[in-house]
Structures are given as C-alpha cells and as structure tokens.
Chain A
Amino acid sequence: MAKLNLNREPMPRQDPKVRGRNFNEVALGYTPEQAQAEASRCIQCPKRPCAEGCPVGVDIPGFIKALQDGNMPEAVKILKSKNSLPGICGRVCPQEMQCEAKCSLAKKGAPIAIGRLERFVADWERTNQEALDAPAPLPQSTGKQVAVVGSGPAGLTVAADLAKLGHRVTIFEALHVAGGVLMYGIPEFRLPKGIVQNEVNYVTSLGVELKLDSVIGKISTVDELLDSDYQAVFLGTGAGLPMFLNIPGENLNGIYSANEFLTRVNLMKGYRFPEYDTPVKVGRKVAVVGGGNVAMDSARCALRLGADEVYIVYRRSEAEMPARREEVENAQEEGIQFKLLTNPKRLLGDKENWVTGIECYKMELGEPDASGRRRPVTVPGSEFVIDVDVVIIALGTTPNPLIASTTKGLETTGRGTVVADAETGKTVKPGVWAGGDIVTGAATVISAMGAGKQAAAAIDAYLKES
C-alpha cells in the first residue's frame, strides 16, 4: 500500500484582498487533478467511521472509491442515493464536526476533505448531464396528496422523496423564491444562488408543484389544507424570527437584524442597488453582534458592500465561537476585526436617531454553563464605546409563531419549536409532520435534510396505510 499522505490538497480560493470586494464564490473548487489527488489519500477503512459522522449516512468510502477509479457517473449515483443536495452540503456542511471529524486520518493528520470532494462530484454532475443515465421514470401516481409548508432544505427534501414515491406534492412558500435560508440567508460568495435554484428545479422536475407568495396561516391554515385536498402536511418553516438584544437604543436607524440585512443583500440583491430597487445601508464602520455563521456572513457581506471597518462583537472567546472554523479564518483573512469577550450594553445615537456607537462591557470567562461552554461574566466598570454607523444583530432566531398560533392541536416548547418525534418527525396532530429548524431551533442544512428524509419515509408509510 502507498505511504499514508497526511496532507490535504489545498482548496484554491480567491485572494482575500480581491474577494473582500466582490460577491463571487470564495472557494473555487478542486480541479479534476486536485480531486483525484485528494481522493487517492483515502485508505477505504473497512469500518467506515466517516459515514457514521454524516447525519444522512452518505456512503463516503463508496463515492470516494468511484472517484479514485475515475468513474464520475458512479460517484454521482452513490452520493445522490443518500443526499439529494450534495452541491449545497459540500459547500456549507460543518464537515469538521461531522464526517471529517470521524475520518481515521484525522487522528494523525488532515482528514480527507470529504466536503470538497462532494462538491466536486456535484459540480461535475451539473455540467455533465449528458454523461449520466436518464433518471429513473417516476412511479405511477398513488393519488395521494401532500402539502409541504416551506421550501428550505427540509421541505425540498421531503417533497423530492415523496414525489419519487409517486405522491403528489405541493410546496407552499411564503417568499417570492424557493430555497429558504439557502436563498435569503447564506450569501452568494459561500453558496451561489444558481446552485440552489438548480436543486429547486430538480425538485419541480419531479412533478412537485411550487406555490410561491403563499403564507400558510394567512392564505390557508394547516387545518384547511388537511380538510381540502391533502392527506398529510409537512411543516418545514424553519426558525425565521430574529432575536434582539433588548437593550436601550436598539431601534435606532442603522440597526439591522441579520435576517433583514442578509435578506436585503442576498434575496433582494441590495448589493446591486440601484439596478435592483431594494436599498441597503452601507456603513463605514459596521459592528456585527454574535459569533455564529450568521454573524460571519453578515460581517463579510458588509465588507463586500464597501465598509471600511467591520467588527465582530462576541461575548465569549474565539474557542467558543459556534461559526465554522473555515468561515472564521476566511473572515479574519479578509480583514474583519474580532472584538472578543465584549458584550453590548446599549446603543448610542445622534439627534437624527441614527446609530453612532455601541457601548460595550469587557467580559471574562467563568464557570462552564449548561452548554458546557464557559459562561462570560461582566467585568465591572469596563465600559467602552466602539464608533459605528451600522450595527447588525446576529444572535440567532426562533420559529415564527404564525404556524403554531393558527394550527389547532400542535404542541410547542417554551422556545417556540414544534414538538415532533425524533425518528419520524410526527407531531401530536394527526396527519402533520415537522422537521428542520422549526423542530430543532436554528441548526444545519444537513440536519434539516436528514429530518426531511425521515419524515418522508414516515409519511409514505402513513399514506400507504390510509
């Protein structure tokens, strides 16, 4: 056997100085040679530890073997049998905590870049449709109809799986495009919108009907859907309600929730104002409060819109940051400044009601809290002011109460999430399943897809019985 290669093939990326001013994708993707080199490092462990780290159970050694053999159509087939959105997961999965964390090579050196290989296969598939076998014909219609509420990764997965089983599926989406957070939240430079729309088109090509501009709870309730044409309903409405700090000055002009800022930039294409009609304020000095992926995305968007200085204000230290390691590094390289162990006390404004500063406390780490992370505590008398003209609050989101408040007999938790069975997504309300962020609170694309897969199987079994 060849000698173990513990060094990972680097990912070509745009130069930080250049990419900090454009919205093009940062990571450029492997060339076929690079993919081959990276795949050849995989030692095909018989115990397949990597696959256990994947929430949807992708046959990782299998698709990498096909890559080693140069059999791209086979790699596509293996990958897609478990993951219908590989082009997305390859780009945004927190691999370092999932599949790659479990790779045998991780103990000795760099784990196989599973996500990058997955992306390589998906990108190849997109541009080499003619080399693939025609998709299997759809089975005969079962005559059963399912309504899917929300078109994020959970909803798209349920819809695709049920359509492939012969059920008629209609997706109801509140916004004017499908894709959920993949469209309005995650920016173009991390996940090109063309790729998301490609996946949406694939789902509609299976015969799924997509109804945009349809806010369930307003245009119809879940009960009305069940009373009309649909035998089952899947709730995949995500966690879309932004949290604020609840400190003085938070409603000053220039203060955005990350959802609003990212929606204006990504969904409404505010970065191309005035060609596109929706404006977004481009601050000179921008502070982003929070330490997750959402905060990194907001900070990096602000930089790309032309801000001179962008700060991440986070109350713990870098080690506790929930954002993906890679994105933290990307942000640092691009020149985002990290104000760690710093917690906002209040926001200051001028007489035009425009934000001018963010007054913060210095923090220090105390005892670990319930999440196992050391709890930040305020250092008394440590207040200082950061001058800013735009502030973006990226503290996280909770489920929008609209569905729960308009649906009889759903059970919800104190955090507003819908209670559903962990294995099947079944809620306490007959005929209603739920999965993704609406059940877990803000989580990941792949966990939403995993929940969608389980729910689709459970809904199929239910429809067969009824």
Chain B
Amino acid sequence: MYKILLRQDLVPDIHLFKVEAPAVARKAQPGQFIVIKIDEKGERIPLTVADWDEQEGSITIIFMEVGATTHRLAQLKGGDFVENFVGPLGVPTHIDKFGTVVCVAGGFAVAPIKPIARALKQAGNRVISIMGARNKNLLFWEDELRSASDQLIVTTDDGSYARKGLVTEPLQELLESEKIDRVIAIGPSLMMKFCAKTTEPFGVKTFVSLNPIMVDGTGMCGCCRVSVGGETKFACVDGPDFDGHQVDWDLLMARQRIYLKEEKCALEQWQAQAGHHS
C-alpha cells in the first residue's frame, strides 16, 4: 500500500498526487513513468513522474480524468492509499548539453515536461518552453515551468489567455528565427505528430514521449508495441521517448483505440455507480 501524502486540484479535471514511495523516489529520473493500480479490481495504468523528492520519499504524479480508472483515482484524497505503485519505469530522457532546446507541452504534459526542462537547463542548455491548452481554465504550472526554463511561451486554442493558437505556431517561428538544437514534445499524440512535422523540414532532432496502452510496463506483454523507423519497439522498455520523425503515428493512434467500446462501458458503469452512492 502506498499513501497519498497530498492531493491538489490543478484545474477541474487534472489532479496532482504526491505518493509515498521512497524507493522509487531514490531512482526516478526525467522522462520515466510509474504504473499505478488502485485496488484489487483496478487496472494498471502508466503515469509519468512529474516530480520527486528523495528527502520526503515521494513521487508527484499529475493525471487527467479521461476514463474509469482516472475517474476512480480522482475520488481519492490525501491520506488514502493505492494498492500498487511500480517504478521508475522506462528509459530516462536523454539529457546532455545540446545548446538551445525547445520543450513543448500540450495539456497535462506540462507535468512530464517540467523535470525535463529543469534537467536540460541544469545541463547548461538554453531552454525555451512552450505550453498550450484549449483554454485558460485548463492551464496550470505556468510559474513552475517558467522557473524551469529560460523563456516560456503560453498559448490557448481559443485565445482566452496569452497567445491564441496552437503550440506548433510559436514552434515554427522559433525554428525560423534561430538555431534550435533539439526539440522535446510531449502531449496528445496528434499534437506530438504535428510538432514532429513542424521540425522535420528544419532537420532538428525531435523527441516525443509515446503513450500507447500498457499492462505490465516491464517488457513482458508487448501491448505497448509501436513502430519506429519501421521497427517494432516496446514503448515501456525501449522508450517511452523516441525520435518523432521515425514514429508511425497512425499505428500508435489506431492502437490507442483498441478498447474504445470497453472503455465507454467501464466509464458508464462507474458513473452509474458513483451517481448511486452520492
């Protein structure tokens, strides 16, 4: 059992948990993830480590309510427990001195981007971060990401805050105006795909963090297989970071839809039950 030390609601359906897991906190690195399972009947789902505190022995995760498991997770409060918490999994993001690096975060991905931006900055890079959300109400951790970066650009799709537009627009401008040595883009698959498309003509290495469906997260099941440069890879052990120009995006997005019907059924059942109890 792992204790939830703290819960924060960042925006209505994105929440932060600090979970007590000292052994994981000792090893976590930027770009890695954990697998969480709420209880006996729960599903194993992967979430990126958004931060860690070795002293306190805690791991911070940030998740968005999308289906049954994340909705169930959102019912938990500080002081509650989850049954399983495994990590740190996956290969850490490659951190080196590249020069100027642009970190792009879409939606909840501000969470995984922050430790990466911080590590890149510490390694001597100039870090320009771009964060985008659909609207003002979905933005969080603006100050956190700003302090982890040398420069921050914020966008909203509807223009309700900061710059109106998609994250790819400032990315395009940066690529046109100065020498960018590397781009790291994390967010929904479509957003990562378009970031990779934007950087491709400039020949700038672009890393993305893939989010296929996973089960064990240790290379045992092959559920997370993705195609990169024409080769099948297991995202949980070979990634989750891959060269965005080599990823077969259509395959990734098709495989994310395998359980659409079941996911809908599970969510409806959960909502019916939750409605019942309240």
Contact = CB atoms under 8 A, between A and B. Distances in A.
Nearest to B259: A279
B222 A278 contact: no
A9 to B, nearest CB: 39
B41 A275 contact: yes
Interface in A207-263: 212-215, 218-220, 240-242, 244, 246, 250-251, 253-254, 256-257, 259-260, 263
A218 B221 contact: no
A330 to B, nearest CB: 25
B219 A400 contact: yes
Nearest to B256: A253
A260 B42 contact: no
A269 B69 CA distance: 16
Nearest to A211: B23
Contacts of B223: 256-257, 260
B222 A218 contact: no
A277 B41 contact: yes
Contacts of B254: 253, 352-353
B68 interface: yes
B232 interface: yes
A219 B42 CA distance: 23
Chain A at the B interface: mostly helix, strand, loop or mixed?
Answer: loop
Contact of B216 (A175, A251, A401): A175
Nearest to B220: A240
B220 A242 contact: yes
Given A259-B220, A263-B221, A274-B265, A268 B44 contact: yes
Contact of B218 (A174, A273, A278): A174
B222 A268 contact: no
B87 A402 contact: no
A277 B23 contact: no
Chain B at the A interface: mostly helix, strand, loop or mixed?
Answer: mixed
Nearest to A212: B84
Contact of B42 (A212, A277, A401): A277
B63 to A, nearest CB: 15
A281 interface: yes
A176 interface: yes
Given A219-B24, A353-B255, A402-B237, A259 B43 contact: no
Interface string A394-432: 000000111000000000000000000000000000000
B43 A278 contact: yes
Contact of B262 (A241, A274, A275, A353): A274
A256 B213 CA distance: 13
A167 interface: no
A260 B84 contact: no
Contacts of A401: 219
Contact of B225 (A218, A251, A273): A251
A219 B27 contact: yes
B231 to A, nearest CB: 10
A256 B215 CA distance: 12
Contacts of B69: 277
B95 to A, nearest CB: 18
* 6 closest A-B pairs by CB: A279-B262, A353-B254, A260-B221, A277-B43, A257-B222, A176-B84
